[in-house]
Amino acid sequence: MIASLYDPAKYDGTNASLTSAISPDGSPEIGVKYRIPPRCGVAIKLQAGQQLQIENTHGTQVCDFWAYLAADMGQFLSMSHCRTWLQSVFPKVGDRLVTNCRQPVLEIINDTSPGVHDTVMSCCDLTRYQLLGCTEYHDNCTDNLRMALSAIGLEAPHVPDPFNLWMNIPISPDGQTSFEATVSSQGDVFGFRVLEDLIAVMSACPQDKNPINGADAKPSELHFIIKA
């Protein structure tokens, strides 16, 4: 048997995700508003009982979101298990989100947007942009995840499908999907209650080859705050 050369922690290029950590180990200060730069990712440590509030600062930006159990990063927020758990592809306020071991780790506590988010699409990666015609390195959410974890001294054991906040992916009755502009507004906030100690990662998606980050396809910043 030939051993796989794939390393889930190895990134294909670099950007400011490597220098955007909020602290050396990702621990946040309560009540401080932090910035996620456009096209970049940030990893943070969350404790059970805390609240994470993510702000769509300009109203047009998708946030790829992941979470791993702090005690065992082999257990992570899983969209396929969430869809089974919820019997829905559209999580909403009051829903609990689960890991690949079906353990609830996050509860959605508020959402000021119309509630259009995606649990179906994988995160973008270098190959995705090559297929879209890019001939040079393009920032991507997969690498943002890897670099954001590396910036706080961790490695990605797996690249799960993300919870794509504010991403507008209509699903037609015949099962077809499309990439559409966000329907959120400037300053919309999405909030979680943390049920277990977690490592969370947020990426301001760098997709500029379709309109998911607005009709002008221009990625922008996001902000977040932790509340006790």
For residue 84, the model assigns a pLDDT of 98
Is residue 4 predicted with pLDDT exceeding 80? no
**Over the stretch 104-158, which tens digit does the pLDDT of each residue have?**
999 999 999 999 999 999 999 999 999 999 999 999 999 999 999 999 999 999 9
- The phi, psi pair for 53, rounded to 5°, reads -115, 120
- Amino acid 193 reads R
For residue 5, the model assigns a pLDDT of 81
Q: How far apart are CA 41 and CA 136, in angstroms?
A: 20
For residue 3, the model assigns a pLDDT of 63
Q: How far apart are CA 11 and CA 80, in angstroms?
A: 25
Query: For residue 149, how many other CB atoms are within 10 A of its CB?
Result: 25
Is residue 188 predicted with pLDDT exceeding 60? yes
Tokens encoding 7: 């390393």
Is residue 1 predicted with pLDDT exceeding 60? no
Question: Pairing between strand 104-111 and 33-36?
Answer: unpaired
Question: Pairing between strand 222-227 and 51-56?
Answer: antiparallel
**21 touches 152 (CB < 8 A):** yes
Is residue 58 predicted with pLDDT exceeding 80? yes
Is residue 16 predicted with pLDDT exceeding 90? yes
Q: How confident is the model at residue 63 (pLDDT cuts 50, 70, 90)?
A: very high
pTM for the full model?
Answer: 0.97
pLDDT above 70 as % of the chain: 98
Mean pLDDT (the chain, rounded): 97
For residue 140, the model assigns a pLDDT of 98
| C-alpha distances out from residue 11 to 18, 127, 156, Å | 11, 12, 10
**Over the stretch 87-112, which tens digit does the pLDDT of each residue have?**
999 999 999 999 999 999 999 999 99
Which of 147, 167, 164 minimizes the C-alpha distance to 65? Answer: 164
**117 touches 185 (CB < 8 A):** no
